[in-house]
Amino acid sequence: MSEPKVWVFFYGSFINREVLAEVDLIPERVEVARLAGYDITIRPLANLELSDQSSVYGIVCETTHTELARLYGQEWVATYLPKAVLVETQSGQPLPALCYVAPQREPKPAAAAYVDRIVKPARAYGFPRWYIDRLESYRPGARVDGSTT
């Protein structure tokens, strides 16, 4: 009997299918989704903060708890804890999903290569331009408007 799957919302480098493939997580179906009421930070890894003025874009896919444990158990990944959220898919449907959020920790600058691992697939998925600019604002040397100095 196969392990049951759960919906999960990814918003940081795990929106990158190459990153998922590094731990042999190959989702059969991926859909763009938006999580309202949160903002993304990248300090040095992506995380969520409550916000009544923002939304976070990412992807939803079905995966097993075993796959999630393997993904979040990687040495480079900080402690992230599952949280139940309600996302809206690109087709406008509400979907309950798990979303992993790290406890607050001391902020540090993000590495350019890490930001690239998020921005490249975000563009490919067609995330809104304002959101790409938000991601780019965490690039070392970036100004608030997302351009570099």
- For the chain, give every domain's residue range: 5-136
| CATH topology (fold) of 5-136 | Hypothetical upf0131 protein ytfp (3.10.490)
**C-beta separation of 101 from 80 below 8 A:** yes
Degrees, nearest 5: CA angle 102-77-30: 85
| Phi-psi group of 37: left, alpha or beta (phi > 0 → left; psi -120 to 50 → alpha; rest → beta) | left
How confident is the model at residue 144, as a pLDDT? 52
Q: Which of 115, 114, 80 is nearest to 100 (CA)?
A: 80
Distance, C-alpha 102 to centroid of its chain:
12
Kindly indicate the confidence band of residue 149, based on its pLDDT and cuts at 50, 70 and 90: very low
* Burial of 55: CB neighbours in 10 Å, binned 0-12, 13-18, 19+: middle
State phi, psi for 118 to the nearest 5 degrees: -100, -45
pLDDT above 80: residue 91: yes
Per residue in 44-58, pLDDT tens? Answer: 999 999 999 999 999
**C-beta separation of 10 from 125 below 8 A:** no
Per residue in 1-27, pLDDT tens? Answer: 789 999 999 999 999 999 999 999 999
State phi, psi for 38 to the nearest 5 degrees: -135, 160
**3-state class of 87 per DSSP?**
strand
